[in-house]
């Protein structure tokens, strides 16, 4: 097995216990929503929903906030199990990207990527050096085939007891359980912890329509997983180079129809910066796609809402990483979190 896997992926994050009196939200350092002071090279791993997101305004907003954008898409990169790694963005396949036997090859290409799939042009010169900010997102089928109990804890895995979802696609439903998915996301932290020179931002998989859900209850389980990611994924993780944006939640409420969004509305479901704090709120009881364009791809209205709520949070995450702003709640942690998660390295 690849040495990185031997030293890190056989590692596991162990939960030592609940914090009885976690820090209060008012104790957090002030967040910094300003764009980075110098141009940041950003790479976005995505498929069609991400393409729509970029074309609907995210690309322009990223450039306006001093991010130089590249991306990966279908057919990008060297081969992984018979297809280019760019084809593989399902939740289980993040193992291949960040921790698998060929991860060093994939990541070297990713950090040096200059490709942009969309017919878009950055408005600033390309900065020197590698990409330092990585956005990664699975597509909506990953919200449609989940089994298990919504409250199941993360699976703890090792080289001798591997997580069945490592490398699996979204159609491999036996592996796609709540516990396995949470465990996979926790496993990724072992790699992220050794790359403090990079900022990793997870966008949760978008919601599906009822017709696209192929395991009953999957949307409810996806909601539970994404709430866990927002509030507890980074419990005990000591660094500021990882954050999550709940794209799923953002796309579960609209402004009255599929083409009208509720960006800036008081009601609805949001993950946004509001009055100097990160707000993650579910005020509309819906776990399905609110911007269905006939299938689970969101309309332009949904993409505009996603872009509008995402970019300020990227700035907050950037400054927390750089130490020029506070660590936000509700981008992987909440005021009452789990301490004492230890990374155990095995020989």
pLDDT > 80? residue 22: no
15 class by beta-carbon count within 10 Å (0-12 exposed, 13-18 middle, 19+ buried)? middle
Looking up tokens 């976690």, which residue turns up? 22
Q: What is the pLDDT of residues 150-183, one digit of tens each?
A: 999 999 999 899 999 999 999 999 999 999 999 9
Model confidence at 338, pLDDT cuts 50, 70, 90, reads: low
pTM: predicted TM-score of the whole model, two decimal places = 0.92
Cα dihedral angle (19, 24, 27, 29), rounded to 10 degrees?
Answer: 80
Model confidence at 293, pLDDT cuts 50, 70, 90, reads: confident
Determine contact, residues 253/262, Cβ cutoff 8 Å: yes
pLDDT > 60? residue 50: yes
Mean pLDDT of 48-64: 97
The CA-atom distances, in angstroms, between 96 and each of 9, 55, 191, 293, 308 are: 12, 28, 12, 31, 31
pLDDT of residue 13: 40
Lateral strand order in the sheet of 67-72: 67-72, 40-45, 133-137, 199-203, 242-245
Q: Distance between CA 278 and CA 28 in Å, rounded?
A: 11
Total domains in the fold of the chain = 1
Model confidence at 14, pLDDT cuts 50, 70, 90, reads: very low
Q: Distance between CA 10 and CA 48 in Å, rounded?
A: 33
111 class by beta-carbon count within 10 Å (0-12 exposed, 13-18 middle, 19+ buried)? middle
pLDDT of residue 337: 64
Q: Give the domain extent around 147.
A: 3-343
Model confidence at 336, pLDDT cuts 50, 70, 90, reads: confident
pLDDT of residue 28: 53
């Amino acid at each position: 097995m690849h040495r990185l896997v031997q030293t890190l992926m056989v590692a596991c994050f162990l939960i030592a216990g609940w914090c009885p009196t976690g820090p209060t939200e008012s104790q957090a350092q002030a967040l910094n929503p300003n764009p980075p002071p110098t141009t940041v090279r950003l790479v976005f791993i995505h498929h069609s929903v991400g393409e729509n997101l970029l074309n609907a305004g995210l690309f322009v907003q990223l450039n306006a906030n001093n991010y130089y954008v590249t991306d990966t898409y279908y057919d990008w990169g060297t081969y992984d199990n018979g297809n280019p790694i760019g084809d593989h963005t399902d939740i289980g396949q993040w193992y291949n990207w960040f921790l698998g036997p060929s991860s060093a090859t994939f990541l070297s290409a990713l950090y040096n990527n200059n490709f942009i799939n969309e017919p878009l042009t950055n408005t600033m010169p390309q900065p020197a050096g590698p990409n330092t900010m990585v956005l990664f997102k699975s597509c909506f089928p990953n919200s449609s085939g989940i089994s298990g109990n919504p409250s199941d804890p993360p699976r703890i895995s090792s080289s001798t007891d591997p997580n069945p979802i490592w490398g699996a696609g979204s159609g491999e439903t036996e592996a796609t359980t709540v516990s396995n998915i949470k465990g996979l996301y926790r496993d990724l932290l072992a790699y992220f912890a050794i790359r403090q020179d990079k900022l990793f931002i997870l966008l949760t998989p978008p919601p599906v329509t009822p017709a696209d859900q192929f395991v009953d209850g999957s949307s409810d389980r996806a909601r539970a997983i994404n709430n866990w990611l927002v509030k507890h994924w980074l419990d005990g993780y000591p660094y500021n180079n990882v954050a999550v944006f709940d794209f799923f939640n953002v796309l579960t409420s609209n402004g009255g129809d599929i083409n009208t969004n509720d960006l800036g509305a008081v009601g609805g479901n949001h993950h946004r910066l509001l009055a100097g704090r990160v707000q993650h709120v579910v005020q509309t009881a819906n776990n399905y796609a609110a911007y269905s364009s006939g299938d689970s791809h969101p309309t332009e209205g949904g993409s505009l809402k996603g872009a509008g709520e995402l970019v300020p949070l990227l700035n907050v995450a950037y400054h927390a990483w750089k130490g020029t702003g506070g660590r936000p709640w509700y981008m992987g942690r909440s005021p009452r979190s789990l301490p004492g998660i230890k990374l155990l390295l095995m020989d």
